[in-house]
Amino acid sequence: MLLDKLASCSRISLRSCQTFVGRGKPTIGVRRETINAWERRAPLAPTHVKKLTKAGVTVLIQPSNRRVFPVQDYVAAGATVREDLSDAQLIMSVKQVPVDQLIANKTYAFFSHTIKAQPDNMEMLDTILQRKIRLIDYEKIVDKNGKRLVMFGKWAGNAGFIDILHGLGLRLLALGHHTPFLHMGLAHNYSDSHMAINALRGIGYEIALDKMPRSLGPLIFIFTGSGNVSRGAQELFEHLPHEFVDVAMLPKVAQKGQLTKVYGCVVTRADHMVPKNGGAFNKAEFEEHPERYISKFATEIAPYATVIINGVYWDARTPRLITIPDAKHLLTPQHKYEVPGCPTLPHRLVAICDISADPGGSIEFMNECTTIDKPFTIYDADFHTTTDSFDLPSGCLVCSIDNMPAQMPLQATEQFGNLLYPYIFDMLNCATEQPFDRLVCRPEVKGAIITNEGRLTPNYEYIADLRSAKAAASHHKARVMGADEKKVLLLGAGMVSGPFADFYSKQAKVHVTVATESREDGHRLAKSDNITPLVVDVAREHDVLEQLVREHDQVVSLLPFGFHPMVAKMCIKNKTDMVTSSYVSPELQALDSAAREAGVTIMNESGLDPGIDHMLAMECIDEVKEHGGKITSFVSFCGGLPAPEASDNPLRYKFSWSPKGVLTALLNPAKYLQDGKVVEITSGKVVDHLYPIDFMPGFNLIGYGNRDSTKYSEIYGLGSDCKTMIRGTLRYKGFVESVKALDSVGLLSTKPQDIFNPNLGPDPTWKQLMASLLNQRQDIFPDSLRNIAAEKVGGVNSAGMKALQELGLFSDNVADRHGNALDTLAPYLAKILAFNENERDLVVLNHDIGVRLQSGSLERHRVSIVAYGEPNGFSAMARTVGYTCAVVSNMVLQGEIQKPGVLRPVTKEIYRPALKRKMAFPASAGRGVTQVIDRCEAAKTSGFLDLSSCTLMYIADAIYLVLKGFEVTKVSLRNNCLKKFPKKMINKFPNATIFNMEGNEIEEIPEEFEQWTLMRGINAANNKLTTFPHGIFSMKNLAILDLSGNRIEEIDVDRLYTSCPALLQLNLMGNPLKSETKSKLRTSPSKPAKISLKVD
């Protein structure tokens, strides 16, 4: 019957016992690979072409000098060289075809990378559909069990293993270790695998002779997967002196393994995939429902790995091997004792070779493939960024080249052709002239057809659904890196919203919608194109708010805390993450289980207090615990204040946020733990239990308890060893007396009263309001009213009475009423006690932490912050709250925080990266205040002022005052946040000989720099310098100069060399130097004879 139907077709009997059923002579076209410069493979080698031509198939091949086999070899095999392939029924290539080169109504075969709806290839897929091309994808030629039959896998594994050994050698060298791996080249440096194996054996010989640095410890290679990729990598690994161990042995090997060999561990799904509901791994269930499983790879396997070779297939339903939060845990530097010159590794995991090359896949933080030109990147988990520099003190080397077999094109092409050849004739029979439902080909080939007649074939219709889902899903639903622009909904446009909006105005691919009642406030924040204001009354327009929540990836609520539970419920309902800077209220905590069940992150307490206080506390606490110590007491006070010069008013306070909240805080109850006893203070009595403040005495501070401090013993994980737990608020002396006076006369009452009703009668004066509050007639004689008030507040000459008078509360000024005393007083105080032009606010945070060391001795750790606001700019309070909230918000948005539920930033994977992102924190962050003071004291005797890594934004005058009269000859400002050169330092330390300002953001060095004529060593690497500092020309004794990592293009080379004849080391790497400058640096006759020059 079939023969009758095919009577009009040519029948060419092939030696493989297959029959060509198409019209005319069977013809194959082989494309020239154009995807990148390194793609030298072909789908068929000359040996395969020779077999085809002998079987009667015409092979057309496009000319290419890049192809690993020269075109003359194909001609000798019987192929015809032709640019035009339109006569071919089947057009073949290895990689994707540019859309402008796709010929309509043809059958194509190549790796399309479309089966997971990869965004980069959707335009090509659309063109294929539009032009009615029949697409065969090699990746989907599989057997009945889904096992791939045609692949380059082995060579991907070979090349990946070679590449990662090369990168490992470079990374270990940057970390301070010479190893035999430095002798390994990249895979394309070897003509074939046999040459690479010879190099591997040489490395193995050195390892066997015990030439590995001992401080590295045992090296463990983890291989994921059991397919061709993994086996290809293992095949080369076995040429090193090695031992394979199972997963259970990894902890022992990591501790006691030998250094004369390397260890390998092949990890299968059964080793780490665990059913969520308990029980054993079930292969059939996993393949059908991978979402029912969780992976323990990051917690039970990766912590012991030195190198991970990843070759597993991943789809969106499958648990990842390593998530972004996992990476923060794995890549946190460990505190270890080190012998100088023999460092230990910052963390055990040094390198990952992700041969799967799946951005945002099983290794989630791998969000972009590397290339053969630039094969490596270092992932910094603290900043969730990558860099090409190998010199980071911590971070993981990543190699994720997506075309690794192209590095070994000869053998890869030969083997791939061997696997593909048996299916060639079936593919020829899939010419578009043959109806899809009557194709004469094996099911393996028919099942690999992705498109037909302008449609996806039935097996691949899911691609359209997957595309739609990706387009609609927000990142917290899909958790796929590299998605399109993400959307943040900011609720509230108050003072702390300014820095928040400023942070996001600089973020790419993030759009912020500001929802506020005030159009003016919204437009104030919309200073960049990615911020849009929207007028919304959150309290009333619930439907509008819920729609906004649904349309955004994240909600950030900077509204008063009372709104948070309502917003959180909407976020849980719509599976939208949420971030706030406020305390976790009982109402919000009650939503924890619902949030966890919905997979929604609700991150709270991400401001200053609460926020930075938690992070700095936990940083210290965790460090103490890591060294075997215990916390015996925790006393923390924080306050937002006017700078001392702006505090001359009765309250000793000015308002940069809600006066109502400031005033009522003193009326709240408080509870804390002191010397093992719980102290409870009833409402309104906090002011009678002031805490003595012994730090920073110049500020003249007082402190009082804040809310329930006792719960933080559990939140901080302190246990019963901590006998004192106090968290409180700071104010200047005099504040409490003034607030007590306001309370005594009834001005802090929230009870509605007719006299405060704006709808009843004419507006009264403040004197008349006071008379009413004191139950007196409104026409009472002023002196009599003051005397009655004085009796309430402690006397005519009391501080409280003085405050009432100076605040104008007995004046004839008309009051603006708001229903009750407090709501009327608050806006009045906000107006008369607002910050004036050029005035600054101040933030002070101090932790005093009692510690019992493992030895039994006691210590006190002090962690402090002092930050000033910017005159006429962002206040210190706005900066510390707004930027911190933005940093944490962005961590949630980028998938760095994925844990669902109601959270606080008290775990290392959150606080460590947040604290390191400098923008969020003020000049003396961390242990800055005590740290700077201690370092200044040390400089008095050593002459070395070491202010490195103090998060300084400027150099305070106090530093020069402390060191007045002392000679400083060496200065380090390394790794701070300086944007301007500290010019005053040149005059204060005229005899300086060594100066290090590496790792700041300084753009220009002033001319005064030339006054440092005794200078012998300068390190200004990794700043933003655009011009060469001319002051250097006056430093004839200069021996070392490092300007690497800047933006310098030109240098007067002859003047430099003649002005600095003593120059021994000059590093200009990483600058965009002009070619003529580079040439002069190398060849100038003035070049010092002994100079060591580093130039790109």
Is the pLDDT confidence value at 1065 over 80? yes
CA 784 vs CA 384, 770, 777, 806: distances in Å: 67, 12, 11, 17
Q: What is the pLDDT of residues 630-649, one digit of tens each?
A: 999 999 999 999 999 999 99
Domains 643-720+729-832 and 928-1094 share a fold: no
Helices (H), 631-707: 659-664
The mean predicted confidence, pLDDT, of the chain is 89
Is the pLDDT confidence value at 383 over 90? no
Give exposure, 472-511, as e/b (b: 16+ Cβ within 10 Å): ebbbbeebbbebeebbbbbbbbbbbbbbbbbbbbebeebb
Residue from 306, 312, 217, 242 nearest 272 by CA: 312
Token pair of 560 as six digits: 């008063």
The architecture (CATH level 2) of 475-610+874-920 comes to 3-Layer(aba) Sandwich (3.40)
Q: Strand 707-708 vs strand 601-603: parallel, antiparallel, or unpaired?
A: unpaired
Average pLDDT value for residue range 346-368: 91
Q: Cα(390)–Cα(371) distance, rounded to whole angstroms? A: 16
What is the reported pLDDT for 16?
Answer: 41
Token pair of 466 as six digits: 């997957």
Q: What is the pLDDT of residues 89-120, one digit of tens each?
A: 999 999 999 999 999 999 999 999 999 888 88
Whether the CB-CB separation of 728 and 673 falls below 8 Å is answered with: no
What is the reported pLDDT for 679?
Answer: 94
Is the pLDDT confidence value at 8 over 50? no
In percent, how much of the chain has pLDDT > 90?
67
CATH superfamily of 643-720+729-832: Domain 3, Saccharopine reductase (1.10.1870.10)
Measured at the CA of 243, the angle between CA 241 and CA 245, to 5 degrees, comes to 160
Chosen CATH of 2-141+409-468 out of 3.40.50.720, 3.40.640.10, 3.40.190.10, 3.30.300.130: 3.40.50.720
Q: What is the pLDDT of residues 902-928, one digit of tens each?
A: 999 999 999 999 988 865 444 444 443
Is the pLDDT confidence value at 858 over 90? no
Residues in the chain: 1096
- The residue assigned the tokens 């308990």 is 278
Q: What is the DSSP letter of 184?
A: -
928-1094 carries CATH number 3.80.10.10: yes
Token pair of 718 as six digits: 């302190």
3-class SS of residue 346: coil
3-class SS of residue 142: strand
What is the reported pLDDT for 484?
Answer: 65
Is the pLDDT confidence value at 9 over 60? no
Lowest model confidence (mean pLDDT) among 397-411, 514-528, 869-883, 919-933: 919-933
What is the reported pLDDT for 923?
Answer: 41
What is the reported pLDDT for 924?
Answer: 43
Domain residue limits, the chain: 2-141+409-468, 153-407, 475-610+874-920, 643-720+729-832, 928-1094
**Phi-psi region at 454: left, alpha or beta (left = phi > 0; alpha = psi -120 to 50):** left
Q: What is the pLDDT of residues 941-980, one digit of tens each?
A: 889 998 887 767 678 666 787 788 899 999 999 988 788 8
The architecture (CATH level 2) of 153-407 comes to 3-Layer(aba) Sandwich (3.40)
Average pLDDT value for residue range 251-268: 96
Whether the CB-CB separation of 1094 and 1069 falls below 8 Å is answered with: yes
Lowest model confidence (mean pLDDT) among 578-582, 669-673, 792-796, 892-896: 792-796
Burial class of 992 by CB neighbour count within 10 A (0 to 12, 13 to 18, 19+): buried
CA 920 vs CA 103, 640, 877, 914: distances in Å: 55, 16, 11, 8
Is the pLDDT confidence value at 859 over 70? yes
Average pLDDT value for residue range 787-793: 90
Residue/partner pairs of 1081-1084 with CB below 8 Å, 24 or more apart: 1081/1051, 1081/1053, 1084/1053, 1084/1054, 1084/1057
Residue from 552, 559, 561 nearest 588 by CA: 561
Catalytically annotated residues: 609
In percent, how much of the chain has pLDDT > 70?
94
Q: What is the pLDDT of residues 145-188, one digit of tens each?
A: 888 999 988 999 999 999 999 999 999 999 999 999 999 999 99
Residue from 320, 387, 388 nearest 354 by CA: 320
Residue from 807, 705, 706 nearest 766 by CA: 807
What is the reported pLDDT for 22?
Answer: 73
Q: Cα(828)–Cα(740) distance, rounded to whole angstroms? A: 18
Q: Cα(676)–Cα(457) distance, rounded to whole angstroms? A: 72
What is the reported pLDDT for 421?
Answer: 96
- Confidence class for position 533, pLDDT limits 50, 70, 90: very high
Residues 6+ apart with CB under 8 A from 608: 581, 638, 640, 843, 845, 877, 880, 881, 884
Measured at the CA of 1053, the angle between CA 1049 and CA 1056, to 5 degrees, comes to 115
Is the pLDDT confidence value at 233 over 50? yes
Q: What is the pLDDT of residues 456-500, one digit of tens each?
A: 999 999 999 888 877 765 444 333 334 468 999 999 988 889 999
What is the reported pLDDT for 479?
Answer: 39
Whether the CB-CB separation of 983 and 1006 falls below 8 Å is answered with: yes
Q: What is the pLDDT of residues 654-700, one digit of tens each?
A: 986 667 878 877 778 999 999 999 999 998 888 888 888 888 888 89
- The residue assigned the tokens 């080391």 is 1065
Name residue 1035's amino acid: M
- Confidence class for position 1067, pLDDT limits 50, 70, 90: very high
Beta-bridged to residue 786, according to DSSP, are: none
Lowest model confidence (mean pLDDT) among 59-68, 767-776, 948-957: 948-957
CA 382 vs CA 465, 693, 951: distances in Å: 36, 35, 16
What is the reported pLDDT for 476?
Answer: 40
- Confidence class for position 335, pLDDT limits 50, 70, 90: low
